[in-house]
Structure 1
C-alpha cells in the first residue's frame, strides 16, 4: 500500500458548471459516494473537481455567461473562473495543478478517461504509460553528458600521454644540465689557456684590441645569425600550421549549408501555417465542447423530468414516455433518446480526433522550431568561421612579410660574417695564430653553451606545464565518475519506469481478480517485449506492452484468450487497474489528493464495492458516482452525497 498524504478536509464550491446552478460539498478523507439516478449532476460535480484541479475537461453551463469552482483544503484555496464572451469561453484563476496531464490520465477515471479506455480499445499501453515522461529531454541530457564524458576522456588520455612524456623530459633535463656543466668547464679551461697565451704575447695594445674587437663582432654576428635562423624556422612552422587550420576551416564552412537563410524562411512559413491550423482546431474543439455540454445538460434535464413523471400515480403520462422519445430541441421533431446519445458519441469522437490532430501539429511545431534553431546555429557558426578565416589570412600575410624580412637579414648577416672572417684572417700573424684559434674555439663553446641553456629553459618550462596539468587528473576522474553514474541513471530510467508499470499492473490485476472472483478467468497480465516494427521505410526495435489473458475450462485446462472475448465488466475492471498502475508508477498520489470514479454500471454492485474499497487504499479522497442500488453494497459508514 502506498502511504496517502496528510489528512485534510476539502470544501468544494461550484456555480454554473456543467448542469450545476450552485452547490457546495464538504469532503472528508476516504470514500465519498455520490449516489443518485442519471441526470442528477453527479458527473458535473466530478468534472468541477477536475476543473479546479487544473483539467480542461469541464464546461460552462449552457445558459450562463460566467461560472466558477473553488476548492479549499485547510488554509489553501484554489479557484478557476469561466467566462463566455463572443461565443468563446475563457478560463482564469489558480488551479491546484500547474500541469494536469498525469491527473487526467490516471486519477480522473470518468467514462471517457483515456487510460481506462486504452485496454478495451487495444491501444498502445506502453505509449500511454510513458506519455508523462519527457523521454526526449532524457535523451538530450544523455547526449550532452556523453559529449562531456568524451571530452573528459580525451583530457585524461592527453594526461596519460603527458605522464608518459614526463620521464623522458626529466632525463633530457638531467642530460642537458650535465652537458651545460661540461661546456662551462671546457669554456673556463679555454679562457685560462687564452689568458696564459696572452701573458706571453708582446703584441701592441692596439693590435690586440683590434683583434679582440673583430672577434667580438664575429661572435655577436654569429649569435644574431643563429637567432634569425631560429626565427625563420618558427615563422615557417607557424605559417604551415595556420595554412592547415585555414584549410580545415574552409572545409568546415563548405559543409555548412549555404541555404540556411532560405531554409529558415521556409520553416517560418511552415511554422505559421501549422500554428494557424492549430488555433483553428482549438476553436473548433471549444465549439464542439460547448455543443456537447449543452446537449448533455438537455439530456440531464429530460431525464430528470422523466424520473419525476414516473413517480406520478397517473400512469397515462408515464406510459407516454415509455418509448423514451423526446422532442429534439434543435429541430422540434420527436426522436429516440438513444439517437441523440449516439450523435453525442459521434461528436465526442470528432472532438477527440481533433485533439489528437492538435497534439500531432504541436509535435510538428516543436520539430520545426528545433530545425530552425539548428539552421540559426549553423549560420552563426559560418559567420564565426569566416571571421576566423579573415583573422588567419591576415596573420599569415603578416608572418610572410616578417619571414621575408628575416631572410634578407640572414643574407646580410652571412655577408657580414664572411667579411669579418676575412678581416680576422688578414690580421693573423705567426704570433697570433694560436691565440686566434683559441678565441674561435671559445666562441664556439659559448655559442653551444647558450644553445644548451635555452634548450634547458624550454624543457624546464615544459615539465612545469605538465606537472600543473597533471594536478587536474584527480578532479577530472572524479567528474568522469559522477557523469558515468548520472548516465547510468538516465539510461535506465525509462526501463525502470516501464518495468515498474508492468509489475504494478500484474500485481494489482492478480489481487483484484482474486477479490472479484470472475469465473474461469485465471490471469490477466502484461509482458514487456522487444519487437521489430515498421516505421515509415525502416524496421526499428521497439518496446511494447503485450496483454495476455488466460482462461480455464470446466476440466481445469488453461488457454490464452483475447480481449474481444472479455465481458464488459471484465474490460472495465482491467482498464481501471491499468489506470491504477499508472497512478502508482508516476507517484500521482504525491501530487493529486483526489481519485474520481464514474460510470461503473457495467460491474455488478458487490464487485463495485470490493473494487472501490481496494482502490481507496491509495488516494486521500476517493469520490465515486454510483446508482442507488450499487451504492447500497458499500459500507453505510462511507460519506454520501445525495443532492447536488
Structure 2
C-alpha cells in the first residue's frame, strides 16, 4: 500500500548501547526484512532501536551503559535519537522521525508488549484502545462551537424572513405616502394660483397684500416652531417613561438576587484543596500503573534473569524451554522462587486499588466541577449586581436631567403657544369683506405646507427602512450557504466517532475472516467483534458508552456450533487475533500516512507456515515490514525477502 510517507531507498540503522546491543550497523530494504537467528541474538533490541529512531520512548539503554544513540537514514534524510541515564530514568533527546509516537506504539510497533496484542490476550476493552488516539473532548468542543454558530445563523435567517414579509407593506405605505404628497402638492399649486388671481391693482392694495402675506408667514413659522417644541417635549416624556420602566425592572431584578451565604474566595480555597487531593491521587494512580505495567511485563517474561537461565542450559533445546509452562517464577524484588498465582493475585489487588483510586479521582473531579461552577455563579452574580447598581445610578442622573429638560420645554411650549395666539389674533384683523378670501386661502395654504413636510418626513423614514431591509436581505444567500456548511460539519463531527468505531469493527471482521481462511484453523468458524451500547458508571452518573465484544464461534467434531471465549483460544490463535486487531487499528487511523514501518516480534507461538502466510498478508499494507523470527520459522518465508542474520 503506497503512502505519502513511502520508503523508496535502502534504510541504514546505526546503534550503540541500545537494549542488549553494544554497537551495530544494519542495512534494510523497502518491503519485508526478516531478522533471523537463535534466541538472545538482539533481534528484539534491534526492533527497539528502530522504534527509538522513529520516536518511541519504549526503548532501553544497555544495562552497563549511561548513554546510547541510534541513527536511521533513508530517502536522503537522517533521524537521530539519544538516550541518557539520569537519576535512574532514561532521558530521550535528538530529532526522531515522529514527534508523537502514540499511533505507531499502538498499531505499528507490534512487539510482545504491544498494547493491542496484550489487550486481546487479556480480554481488555478493545474499543478504548481503538479510540484512544481520538480527542473526543476536542470534538465535543467543536460541536458546541458549531451549534452556537448554527443557532446564530438560524436567528439571523429567521429575522430576514420576518423582514421579507414586512417589505410589501412598507412598499405599499411608501406608494400611498407619495400619492398623498402628490395630491397635497396639486392642492398647494391650486391655492397659490388662487392667490395670484386676486385683483389688487392699486399700490395700496399691493402693500396691504404684502402685509397680509407677512403676517401669515410669521404665523406659519410660529406654528412650525410650536410643533417642533411639542415633538421634542413628547420625545423627552417618552424617554423619561422608558427610563422609569427600566429602573423598575432593574430594581425588581436587584431584589430578586439572593443574599449568598457562600463566599467565592472561600469556595476557591475549597477547590484548591480538592485539586491538591486530586493531584496526589493522580500521582498515586500513575505510580500504581507503572508498578502494574512493570510487573505485568516481568511476569510475561517469566521472571528475573530468564535470558541468563536460558544461556546456562546449553545442552537443552532453547525453544522447548521457552514453551514449557511453569508455575514458579523468579521474584524480581527478592530473587526467590514464588508461585505465579501469588504474583498474579498481588497484581489483581493492585489493579483493584488503582480502580478505587480512579473512582475516587472521578468523584473529586465531579465535586471540583460543582464547586467551580458555584464559584463562577457567585462571581457572575456579584458582577451582575454591580452592573445593575451602576446602571441604576446612571438612570437616576438621566431622569433628573430629563425632568429638568421637560420643565424647560413645557415653559417654551407655553410661551410659543402665547405667540401663536397673538399672531392668530393679528391675522384675524385682516378678515373683512375685501380680504376674507385671501386670508382663508393663506390659512389653508399654511396648513397644507405643514402637512406636506410631515408626509415627506414619513416617506423618507419608510424609504430608509426599505433600503435597510434590501441591504440585509442580500446577506441571505451567503448565510444559507454558511448554514449548510455548518450542518455538514456538525454531521461529520457527530458521526466521526461512530464512523471510526464502525470502520474498525468492519476492518477487523473482514481481515479476520481472510486470515482464518488463509491460516486454516480447523475448528474455528469465525472470530468477530460486535459493537454494542452499554451503561457504565462515571463518578456518580450513569452514561451510555460503546463496547466491542469479541466473539469466537467454533464447531465440534459432531458439527455442532457454539460460542467460545478468548481464554480458550490457543496461544497461536490469540496471537493472530491480536495482530489482526492491531492491523485494523493501523488501517482505521491511517498509520501508514504517519510512519511507513511496521515491526513484528514474538511470533514463536505461531507455526512457521502460518507465519509465512501472515507476513505475506501484512506486506500488502506496509512499505517496510521488519520481522524478528527464529531460523526454523524463517525457513518457510519467501527467498525474495531481505534477511538479516547478524546484528
TM-score grouping bracket, smaller chain normalisation: 0.7 to 0.9
1:633 and 2:639 aligned: no
Higher mean alpha-carbon deviation, 176-185 vs 373-382, is at 373-382
Match of 1:406 among 405, 409, 415: 409
Check conservation: 1:59, 1:290, Cα contact below 8 A.
no
> Alpha-carbon deviations, 1:280-308, whole Å to 9, x = none?
87688789999999998972662464155
Q: What is the match of residue 299 of structure 1?
A: 305
Distance 1:248 1:359 in 2: 45
Question: 5 Å matches for 1:449-528?
Answer: 449-528=452-531
Check conservation: 1:109, 1:116, Cα contact below 8 A.
yes
Distance 2:202 2:415 in 1: 35
Match of 1:602 among 581, 594, 605: 605
Question: 5 Å matches for 1:354-369?
Answer: none
Shift of 1:443: 1.7
Change (3 A) 1:528 1:304: closer
Distance 2:602 2:168 in 1: 80
Q: What is the match of residue 574 of structure 1?
A: 577
Distance 2:31 2:525 in 1: 31
Higher mean alpha-carbon deviation, 196-205 vs 70-79, is at 196-205
Shift of 1:614: 1.6
SS of 1:112's partner is: coil
Check conservation: 2:508, 2:580, Cα contact below 8 A.
yes
SS of 1:530's partner is: strand
Change (3 A) 1:239 1:137: farther
Distance 2:470 2:174 in 1: 15
Q: What is the match of residue 314 of structure 1?
A: none
Shift of 1:377: 11
Distance 2:419 2:272 in 1: 71
Distance 2:628 2:342 in 1: 22
Shift of 1:523: 0.7
1:41 and 2:42 aligned: yes
Question: 5 Å matches for 1:188-587?
Answer: 188-197=189-198, 199=200, 211-238=212-239, 247=249, 266-267=270-271, 270-271=274-275, 274-275=278-279, 278=282, 299=305, 302-303=308-309, 305-308=311-314, 335-336=336-337, 390=390, 394=394, 396-397=398-399, 401-425=404-428, 428-429=431-432, 431-536=434-539, 538-587=541-590
Aligned residues: 631
Higher mean alpha-carbon deviation, 424-433 vs 577-586, is at 424-433
Q: Over aligned residue pairs, what C-alpha RMSD do you find? A: 4.5
Which sections of structure 2, spanning at least 5 residues, go unmatched? none
Distance 1:584 1:256 in 2: 59
> Alpha-carbon deviations, 1:324-365, whole Å to 9, x = none?
99998976x6x34x7699969978997999899899979999
Change (3 A) 1:241 1:140: farther
- TM-score (normalised: structure 2): 0.82
Change (3 A) 1:131 1:266: same
Shift of 1:581: 0.3
Which sections of structure 1, spanning at least 5 residues, go unmatched? 312-317
> Alpha-carbon deviations, 1:107-145, whole Å to 9, x = none?
111222221122233322222211111222222222222
Change (3 A) 1:497 1:215: same
Higher mean alpha-carbon deviation, 399-408 vs 282-291, is at 282-291
Higher mean alpha-carbon deviation, 258-267 vs 65-74, is at 258-267
Q: What is the match of residue 315 of structure 1?
A: none
Higher mean alpha-carbon deviation, 253-262 vs 425-434, is at 253-262
Higher mean alpha-carbon deviation, 259-268 vs 73-82, is at 259-268
Higher mean alpha-carbon deviation, 379-388 vs 614-623, is at 379-388
> Alpha-carbon deviations, 1:469-520, whole Å to 9, x = none?
2222222222222222222322332222122111110110001111111122
Higher mean alpha-carbon deviation, 414-423 vs 274-283, is at 274-283
Higher mean alpha-carbon deviation, 183-192 vs 239-248, is at 239-248
Distance 1:377 1:82 in 2: 50
Check conservation: 2:281, 2:357, Cα contact below 8 A.
no
Check conservation: 1:572, 1:603, Cα contact below 8 A.
yes
Check conservation: 1:221, 1:413, Cα contact below 8 A.
yes
Check conservation: 1:528, 1:543, Cα contact below 8 A.
yes
Distance 2:515 2:630 in 1: 22
Check conservation: 1:292, 1:348, Cα contact below 8 A.
no
Higher mean alpha-carbon deviation, 253-262 vs 544-553, is at 253-262
Check conservation: 2:104, 2:591, Cα contact below 8 A.
yes
Change (3 A) 1:290 1:481: closer
Higher mean alpha-carbon deviation, 519-528 vs 345-354, is at 345-354
Q: What is the match of residue 54 of structure 1?
A: 55
Higher mean alpha-carbon deviation, 208-217 vs 593-602, is at 208-217
Check conservation: 2:507, 2:584, Cα contact below 8 A.
yes
Q: What is the match of residue 63 of structure 1?
A: 64
Higher mean alpha-carbon deviation, 499-508 vs 258-267, is at 258-267
Change (3 A) 1:256 1:443: farther
